[in-house]
Each structure stands twice: as structure tokens, then as C-alpha cells.
Copies of this chain bind each other. A is one copy, B any other.
Amino acid sequence: MNEYLEQTGREAKEAEVTVRNLSTEKKNEVLCAVADKLLQRREEILKANEEDVKNGRENHMPESLVDRLLLTEDRILGMADGLRQIAKLDDPVGEVIGMKKRPNGLMIGQKRVPLGVIGIIYEARPNVTSDAFGLCFKTGNVVILKGGSDAIHSNTAIVSCIREALKECGVTEQAISLITDTSRETAAQFMKLNQYVDVLIPRGGKGLIQTVVNTSTIPVIETGTGNCHIYVDETADLKMAADIVMNAKTQRVGVCNACESLLVHKNVKEEFLPVLGKRLLEKKVEIRGDEETEKLIPEAKKATEEDWGTEYLDYILSVKIVDSVEEAISHINHYNTGHSESIITNDYSHAQKFLDEVDAAAVYVNASTRFTDGNEFGFGAEIGISTQKLHARGPMGLPALTTTKYIIYGNGQIRP
């Protein structure tokens, strides 16, 4: 094992006890101090970011990525505001759940506690640096960040601000570490640091997430891709259905909770598809449909098998006609990525069946898939949207960054 990583891990583990036991007040004080520090040292952050952007452009980074990398005064203000928002949220740590008395007099309950050391692997978005720190620190966790090499100067400057604020508040700077060696080899070794790191959260594209899942010996929380479907049932209010499809497809296309695939019951295809098709085409959405869709929307292209499994993140929608709610559910369970799925219907039993049988993190009746989001669900903040089944599923608020331990009050009980 790389000595530098070993040391980073050991120092993080050592800081764990201190950070775990900080009062909510102290944690909030630090979060606000970091916000102040980011604003105070914004010139320095912007300068570091300029260097990253310059390098990115020299290495022919696509403009969409440059835009994610770029920091401005406004974006730094946004980072600082984000930290102040996190300071305002309830601290989930310390809550005791379901304390019960056993027949032998033992009082047994579950206390919510920090996870310990959280590793975050992400790509070229420097705002994730302060955001991830804020969420992990608020929940009493130590965080080790491994950002992309493209953002190394920006991340170093941001982490330097965070550490200075920690120090000024009298809290160990080891509460956050940044792995500055951005080689792939170091990244791979980082994912094996299960002796020191309790959980690893990848934030980024499909490739990054797959690499982490296949390499890590640390437990991983997968935040994922969304091949989200809307199924328009035969009893749907077709005006509502069209409004929801338009919202879920076009309100913002590059996000994981956008709709990528539409299923329409055969009995409403003639009435629904030409009208919807017109609205989609007005918004420059490319339609890729099965044979029957092509007949009803002449502008539609032919969908291939690959289309049914694709998360476009673009102005493209695949469309398929189905014979029944059962066929819709079975298609969705086959092709979806376990993110968000919606049925538009006025049939009670179809609604319940869809909610019961569709296997996804969020299943909707008569609403847009775009609501799968920590803020929309009322969590106030979000570390990502889990598309896996262990520990957390769906939008992850602060409690997803905690675990529980059993606490037991006795008065001399021994086991017979």
C-alpha cells in the first residue's frame, strides 16, 4: 500500500473520535466559518480555477465540461450559501429510535451515530468539494476527497480554505483530506483502503461508478444513472399525461430524473401520440419509436433494441406502445436502472399494481419523475440519489450519512 494513502487513512481515522463527538453548535460554527473563508479567499480560489480551466482548454476539454469546472464569484457565493443552508438543517446525530423495554428489564434502543470516515470520489466539479465536506461534517463524519485531476488546483485552494477555518475554530484539520496525487493507480489503491474508510461514495458518470463498484473493497453507495419511464395508461387524463411527459422530458434534460422512455397503452395511442408528438417536436425533442409510433408520428425515427436501455440525458425520447399495464411493468423492470418510474392513470388497481410491482427507488402515480430529489422530498440537502438497495435508496439526505448503534441500559442482567 502506498505510504501516502496509508498515512491519509490513518490520520482520518484518528480524527474520527474528535469529529464524531463535536456538538451540533460547534459543527454549525465551523460550517459558517468555512463559508466566510471561501468568500474571503475567493480571489485565490478563482485564480487556481483559472489555471484548471486553462489546462482543460489546452487539453481540448469539451465546453460542457469546462462549464462544470468553471468557478465564478456567483458560484463561490453559491458554495458558501450551500454551507450556511446545511448549518440550518437538523442534526440527525444522537437521535434514539424505538427504545423498548424487554421482559428482563433491559432497555434497548438504536442511537443514530456518524458513519466514521467517508470517501468521496468525484470528477471535475469543484463545488462538490465544499458541498461534500458540508454534508459529511454536519453528520459528524471525517471526509477524504479524491477529485478529478482536471480540478486539482481549484480543489486544493478550496480544501485549504476549509482547513484554515477548521483550525481557527479549534477543530482538527484532519476532518478533511484531499488526495492530491491524481494518478489512476492511487485512485485504485484508495478504493482498497477499507481498514480506514467506512464507506465510499462515487459522484460522477457511469464509467466512474462502474470502476468503483468493481474495484472497491470499501462498502460503496452507488449513486446512479436514470433510465426513467412514464407509462400512460388507457384511463389516463391525457392532458395531464402530456403535461407530465413534457415536464419530465424537457424541463431539464441532463439530469438523472429526466424521462428517457415513454410507454403508451394501445387504446389511447391514436388520441394521445399525435398531440404529444407535436408538443415534443416544438421543443426539438427527437422521437425514437416502435413501428406503431412511427405510424402515428411521421417524424419519429425507428427505435433500436439499444434505445430501450439508453439514458440519453438529451432531447431524445424513446416511445413504445404496450398492450397492458402488465406489459409496461415488465418492460420497465427489464430496462430500467432502478431510479424513477411513473404511471399516469385513473384506474385504482393499475395504480396500486404499478406501485407494488415496479422495482425502482421512486415509483410515482400521476406526477413527473423530476421530483426525485432531496430538496423536492423535503430533506433540505442531498448527497446523491442511490439506485442500489443497501443502506439507502433514492434521494439521500443527512441520515444516509449516519448509521445506528444499539444502546442498552441494564441493571445487572446476565443471560440465563
A33 beta carbon closer than 8 Å to chain B: no
Which residue of the partner chain B has the closest CB to A252? Answer: B415
Secondary structure at the A interface, as helix, strand, loop or mixed, is mixed
Minimum CB–CB distance for A386 against chain B, Å: 10
Q: Does any Cβ of B come within 8 Å of A2's Cβ?
A: no
Q: Judge whether B217 and A365 touch: CB under 8 Å.
A: no
Bound-state Cα–Cα, A243 to B194, Å: 37
A412→B410 CA distance, assembly (Å): 53
A414 contacts the other chain (CB 8 A): yes
**Tally of chain A residues near chain B (CB < 8 A):** 69
Q: Which residues of B have CB within 8 Å of A390?
A: 115, 198-199, 219, 221, 390-391, 403
Closest to A239 in B: B412
Nearest CB of B to A266, in Å: 23
Q: Which residues in B have their C-beta under 8 angstroms from that of A240?
A: 412
Question: A264: CB under 8 A from chain B?
Answer: no
Q: For residue A404, which residues in chain B have a CB less than 8 angstroms away from its CB? A: 393-394
**Chain B residues with CB under 8 A of A389:** 115-116, 198-199, 219, 403
Binds B, one of A48-56, A57-65, A286-294, A366-374: A366-374
> Contact at B108–A377, with CB atoms within 8 Å?
yes
Q: Is A359 on the interface with B (CB-CB < 8 A)?
A: yes
Least CB separation from A363: chain B residue: B407
In whole angstroms, what is the CA distance A412 to B115 when docked? Answer: 38
Q: Is the CB of B364 within 8 A of A408?
A: yes
> In the complex, are the beta carbons of A357 and B17 less than 8 A apart?
yes
Cross-chain contact A213 with B199 (CB below 8 angstroms): no
Which of B243, B363, B415 interacts with A405 by CB under 8 Å?
A: B363
Residue of B nearest to A192 (CB): B214
A411 within 8 Å of B (CB atoms): yes
Q: How near does chain B come to A259, taking the closest CB pair, in angstroms?
A: 11
Q: Which of B357, B360, B408 contacts A363, CB < 8 Å? A: B408
Q: Is the CB of A368 within 8 A of B17?
A: no
Complex interface: chain B residues within 8 A of A108 (CB): 377-378
Q: Which residues of B contact A115 (CB under 8 A)?
A: 389-390
Q: Are B371 and A106 in contact (CB under 8 A)?
A: yes
Shortest 7 CB-CB contacts between residues of A and residues of B: A367-B410, A247-B414, A370-B415, A389-B403, A391-B391, A362-B406, A366-B410
- Listed by A's residue number, 13 A-B pairs whose Cβ atoms lie within 8 Å are A17-B357, A106-B371, A115-B390, A198-B389, A213-B217, A362-B405, A365-B408, A366-B413, A367-B408, A367-B411, A394-B404, A394-B405, A394-B406
Q: State the A residues within 8 Å of B (CB).
A: 17, 20-21, 100, 102, 106, 108, 110-111, 113, 115-116, 194, 198-199, 213-214, 217, 219-221, 237, 240, 243-244, 246-248, 251, 333, 355-357, 359-368, 370-372, 376-378, 388-391, 393-395, 403-415
